[in-house]
Amino acid sequence: MDYIIETKDITKKYDDFTAVNSVNLKVPHESVYGVLGPNGAGKTTLISMLCTILRPTMGSATVNGYDVEKNAKEVRGSIGIVFQSRALDDILTGREHLEMHAALYGVPQKVRQKRIDEVLDLIALGNKADEYVKTYSGGMKRRLEIGRGLVHRPKVLFLDEPTLGLDPQTRENIWEYISKLNKSEDITVLMTTHYMEEADKLCDEVAIMNQGQIIKADAPINLKRELKADTITIKVDNSDLFIKKAEKLDYVKKIYSEDSYIKIMVERGENLIPQLVNFANQNNIIVESIELQHPNLEDVFISYTGTSITEGR
């Protein structure tokens, strides 16, 4: 497979502190690739090296076929960047922001306005283009920042925590725009996030990063399948008896009580719910409720790092 981003043992050290430690990434063309980890994991440092903002201490990386150290100019011409911190001028309009960025990236004058209009339509800001940014909502500002990173038609768009600080509804709207960009513009998106749902919903592949290292990388569905541990949550009228009896069942990997519920770890839980109900009936135990939950990326993160992503922040 041909990769648009590839790193080989890329490392960044600050004196005795290693922010990024021998990271190897392979990002396929036209994919949405997520680097998932808590604040301080090294995600922003990694992106900064790929964008030529920071020089690696050791190792190497290529973006769009260009070496990030030897061909920094070509790398910069191939990418768009949206960092965590806002970098918009409130006294400029949305259109003026895009015009300035297009000029800086050398978009030819004769196609500049057409390109800007296309981007404004893509980020759904056409009707707000000539209004000052200070009148924009948080979601509109984020869309403008994404649009600014697209106006020169990069091959790769880097998004560092693209929905940080946004409300849930706005966050979902930004997810839709990112998906649309990836599909309609044939653009590769590399994004960092600490939002599990964001990584699960958007990314074709996710790399779990913790303490400067990539612990595991795969498609979200494959990462979750590897755990082989569904959780069945059941409420019964006699918890102690149910646990005592059920812990002897060969398909129960783990069973414990949590509040007034019983949690049972099993494989292929959808096939076992009828059996558990029958098992309870046979032991004269009344089932009040039963629910199945498949593993999520939070479970995956905990299994590989030993901590939740919020604890690691």
Q: Is the pLDDT of residue 129 over 90?
A: yes
Q: Is the pLDDT of residue 16 over 60?
A: yes
User: Which region among 73-77, 97-101, 212-216, 306-310 has the lowest average model confidence (pLDDT)?
Assistant: 306-310
Listed in sequence order, the residues at least 6 apart from 240 whose beta carbon sits closer than 8 Å to its beta carbon are: none
Q: What integer is the mean pLDDT of 146-172? A: 89
Q: Which CATH number fits the domain 230-294, given the four candidates 3.40.50.150, 3.40.50.10190, 3.30.70.920, 1.10.3720.10?
A: 3.30.70.920
Where, residue-wise, is CATH 3.30.70.920 in the chain? 230-294
Question: Using only C-alpha atoms, what is the Rg of the chain?
Answer: 24
User: Is the separation of the CB atoms in 20 and 212 below 8 Å?
Assistant: yes
**Residue 177 DSSP SS3:** helix
The number of C-alpha atoms within 13 Å of 204 and in the hemisphere containing its C-beta is: 15
Integer Cα distance of 28 and 153 in angstroms: 18
User: Which amino acid would we find at residue 167?
Assistant: D
Listed in sequence order, the residues at least 6 apart from 41 whose beta carbon sits closer than 8 Å to its beta carbon are: 209, 210, 211, 212, 312
Share of the chain above pLDDT 90, in %: 67
User: Which amino acid would we find at residue 306?
Assistant: G
pLDDT digits (tens, 9 = 90+) for 218-251: 999 999 888 878 899 999 999 999 999 999 999 9
| Residue-level pLDDT at 1 | 64
Integer Cα distance of 202 and 191 in angstroms: 10
Integer Cα distance of 6 and 38 in angstroms: 22
| Residue-level pLDDT at 295 | 87
Helix (H) or strand (E) holding 126: none
- Does domain 3-224 fall into CATH 3.10.310.70? no
Where, residue-wise, is CATH 3.40.50.300 in the chain? 3-224
| Residue-level pLDDT at 312 | 45
